[in-house]
Structures are given as C-alpha cells and as structure tokens.
Amino acid sequence: MDILKVFLYILVYPGLLFLFVYSTFVEWVDRKLYAKFQNRMGPMHTGSHGLLQPIADFVKLMAKEDIVPRACDKGLFNAVPIFALAAVLTSGLLLPVWHFTKGIESATSFQGDIIVMAYLLALPTFAYFLAGWTSTSMYAMLGGVRVLTLLFAYEVPMFLAILSPAVMAGSWRLADIAAYFQAHPLHMLFNLIGFAVGVVALQAKLERVPFDIPHAETEVVGGAFTEYSGRKLAMFRLLADVQMVVGAGFIAALFLGGFPGGLIPGFIWFVIKTLAIVFILSAMRAVTARIRIDQMVAFSWQYLAPLALLQLVIVIFIKGYMP
C-alpha cells in the first residue's frame, strides 16, 4: 500500500502528471492576467477561453525541428534541459501537499527538506548558465553570464528570507513549518517582509520582468536559450512553468501556512494560495520595465538582503520574548 502511495506521489500528485497539467494551467492564468492588465484578451482559441493554449504550444514546440549547433558540446547541450527539468520536478515532490506522512519522516518529507528544496530550485539556474556556455554563441554566452550574475543578486536574499519562518517554527521541515503557521495563523503577519522579499526573489529566479535580464530579447536575442529549438526549448519552457508552480508552492508552504486538511481541502488550498502568488507575480510583470543587471545587483544588496536580515532579526526577537 505504501509503495502505491509513493508511486501516486511521484507520478500523479504532486508528481509528474499534476505538475505538468497544473503548470500549463498556471501559465494560462498568468497569460490571461497579463493580458487583462494590458487591455487584451490573451489566448482565446484553443479550448474554452484558450485554456489549452499552453499545452498546444508545448506540443507544437515538441514537434518542431531540433537544431544542435555544430560547435557546441553535444552531450552537455542535450543533457542540460533534461537535467534541469528533472531537478525542478523532483523539488515538486517535496511540497507538503499530502499529509499521509506528516507524523513520520519519509523520503519526501524530512528534517532539512527546506534546504534540499532551495537547492533543487537553484539547480536550473546553473543549467541555464551551462546551456549558454555550451551553446558557443555570443548572445547565449552573454545570457549565461547574466544568469550567474543574477543568481548572486537574488539567491542570498531568498535564502535569508526562507530562514525566518524556519527559525520561527523551530524546524527545518516544510510540513512542520506549515503546521506551525496553521496552529498560529496570526504569526504569519510577523513574516510579511520576508514574504515580500521571497516573492520578489522568486520573480528574479523565474527570470520574469523586471528581472528577465538573462534572456531579454531586445538585448541578447534569446539569452542562454538562443541556440535551443524544438523539444529542448519546449523542455526549458515547461521547466519555467513548473518552477513557477513549485516556487509559488514553496513560498505558500513557508509563509502562508501550507495546505492543511488532507487531500481534497489541501488541494484546494494549494490552488488558491499558489494562484494568489501567481497573481502578484503577473501584476509585477505588467507594471514594470526591465532593469539593468547592475541595477538589479545594487537593488538586491541595497534593499532585498538588508530587508531579509531585518526580518530575521525581528523573528529572533519575537522568538526570544514570546512564550
């Protein structure tokens, strides 16, 4: 029975199938919201109100010709998208959505899974860099270097931000942190700064406007993905969507009290909370211009990192003075 559950976990929910379907849905929500902000309609033709458009795009891109540059390292070039997608899909398994193993630690929920999750979510960034590096095109190279520069800008504030709920709950396990905030909902208010920093850093991690610097088409064509086409590019596109879902779920589990109530209510909570975060991400995308890489680094270290530190200090004080 447990084996079956594990398979369900990996393949259906929250594993491969769910992540694929839900991430295309989230892409659709994102596109629709973005369109609404711009007085447009967004996708309309595939499925009801264009609901199936992201899947259609994915399938079409999968079927396109796949070109590998002659000068690049073929093994690495082919492996990078698979590797990155696998890392993000694995991180999805760590989301505390099924509480059937809440009491006991298991392969998908253990002390320190928050660190593993942050690590797995950081892996695609390195994959992007490798993709840019191995493409041997100057735009890809520039994009790859920008990916790394951006990483140094947002990763530290992100880690500092996720530290504070963990300190507050006194645990390194996502399920415990979520359970803590479910028990003390008002304590979420102490973490608002950290939540804001986390969302902004997530936007940067997802490389969306105003932080889409590494693949700004008007500056470096396609950035690290310039030479990618066909199914490998489709994998990168899917990866970005899955990363958005997992990232939003991660933030929701840390700052918004997770997804309580077992399978069905938990699922509903998951959808509500991730969509709320996606709404913020879309709005941010609609009302900002892309900033420059040097401005991004300055912004991170002048505002994001100090704010995250401030949040940590606040949490430590609260822990010290509150029973």
Tell me the closest approach of the beta carbon of residue 195 to other proteins, in angstroms: 21
Tell me the closest approach of the beta carbon of residue 226 to other proteins, in angstroms: 11
Q: Which two tokens stand for residue 259?
A: 């997804």
Comparison of 168 and 213: residue with beta carbon closer to other proteins: 213
Tell me the closest approach of the beta carbon of residue 253 to other proteins, in angstroms: 30
Comparison of 215 and 273: residue with beta carbon closer to other proteins: 215
Comparison of 271 and 291: residue with beta carbon closer to other proteins: 291
Distance CA(120)–CA(124), nearest Å, equals 8
| Structure-token match 């490798």, residue found | 130
Tell me the closest approach of the beta carbon of residue 296 to other proteins, in angstroms: 10
Three-class secondary structure of residue 235 per DSSP: helix
Comparison of 186 and 289: residue with beta carbon closer to other proteins: 289
Gyration radius of the chain's alpha carbons: 20
Three-class secondary structure of residue 157 per DSSP: helix
Tell me the closest approach of the beta carbon of residue 186 to other proteins, in angstroms: 32
| Three-state helix/strand/coil letters over 50-80 | HCCHHHHHHHHHHHCCCCCCCCCCHHHHHHH
The C-alpha torsion from 92 through 140 and 280 to 155, rounded to 10°, is: 70
CB 156 within 8 A of CB 307: no
Distance CA(132)–CA(126), nearest Å, equals 10
Tell me the closest approach of the beta carbon of residue 125 to other proteins, in angstroms: 19
What's phi and psi for 106, nearest 5 deg?
A: -140, -170
Comparison of 49 and 319: residue with beta carbon closer to other proteins: 49
Binding residues for other proteins, per CB under 8 A?
37-40, 44-50, 138-139, 142, 209-210, 212-213, 216-221, 286-295
CB 242 within 8 A of CB 88: yes
Comparison of 105 and 294: residue with beta carbon closer to other proteins: 294
